[in-house]
Structure 1
């Protein structure tokens, strides 16, 4: 069975919104877009590249798809990541898009939860959910996430969309690997392992 892997960049206070640039996502008046690059380093880049070595497809919400589709098809071909992003299969969850221009893109039809369940049962490698916060939260609520790959950066933003927002399902996580880069970013891989335990001291 294919795994659904949520791959997300987070601030220390859990914000995932607009890491890549000031105009990436200004929803709800967000003014901190582009927060990731100043707190990133080469080790973070290597870790992110490794996320794609274990998967052969991406699962994207509409907004993230449109951001990627406006950049990667004409990105610098000397960047080794350009070919990788363009050649990967892209599955897109959207209630408003009717056609997809970016190569190797497929629009999911019908109920997204059922469509993703069918994807998990299909032939192929693992599937990365990149960005796409609303979609990721839907998949978490429906128990469809098999793994989290997170970079947690040393910066506090104070507002913005969070991956684990209010209403997240309480879940225990098994750490698969957790390292810190020279710049202070925590790179963590975690797998859901049931309900959290509770105790007292």
Structure 2
């Protein structure tokens, strides 16, 4: 069984939005000043070198505009070689491959790809998919890159209505830029007193 890891770049107040989208978000690319070779290397190491990716359609469209043209480096090469599993109603318009549409049932599509042989699967940039995966117990790990900024507005990592869950801290590492990487293992329903 392949692991599904959720990776997210997030502000201290839980914002994950990096683009203006339809709501005129004022802090486009707020994480750019913190990007460093050390951070890139830590991200790549967390991916495990070889991986596949799970993306929502919006994230796919954003990433496909950059990575196929990016200069060759370990991260770009691994991402371009990865199979991209896309949650979309328009699979015929996908071009950045290799790719596969998940089909009309996201939960069943993710269960299917997790049961196949292959490298671990990384989800990037989708609060909508994140909530669904957690609700159905499909995420094995959550890796947060927490930036030392408050944004006050923007799309939050966990959507309203995301079910209560427990996580176990696996590791935590501070990068010289001020980013703290924390990896959590899904530990089931919320535990209360």
TM-score (norm 2): 0.92
Contact 1:13 1:158 in 2 (8 A): yes
Give the equivalent residue in structure 1 for 2:40.
45
Contact 2:20 2:26 in 1 (8 A): no
Distance 1:52 1:25 in 2: 27
1:124 is the counterpart of 2:118: yes
Distance 1:74 1:173 in 2: 37
Give the equivalent residue in structure 1 for 2:160.
166
Contact 2:49 2:78 in 1 (8 A): no
Give the equivalent residue in structure 2 for 1:21.
none
Moved beyond 6 Å, runs of 4+: none
Distance 1:168 1:9 in 2: 18
Give the equivalent residue in structure 1 for 2:82.
88
Shift of 1:54: 5.5
Cα RMSD, aligned residues only: 1.6
Give the equivalent residue in structure 2 for 1:10.
10
Q: How does 1:184-195 map to 2 (within 5 A)?
A: 184-195=178-189
2:136 to 139, 142, 148: 142
Shift of 1:41: 3.5
2:55 to 53, 60, 63: 60
TM-score (norm 1): 0.89
Give the equivalent residue in structure 2 for 1:33.
28
Structure 2: give runs of 5+ residues left out of the alignment.
none
Contact 1:133 1:162 in 2 (8 A): yes
Q: How many residues align?
A: 193
Structure 1: give runs of 5+ residues left out of the alignment.
19-23
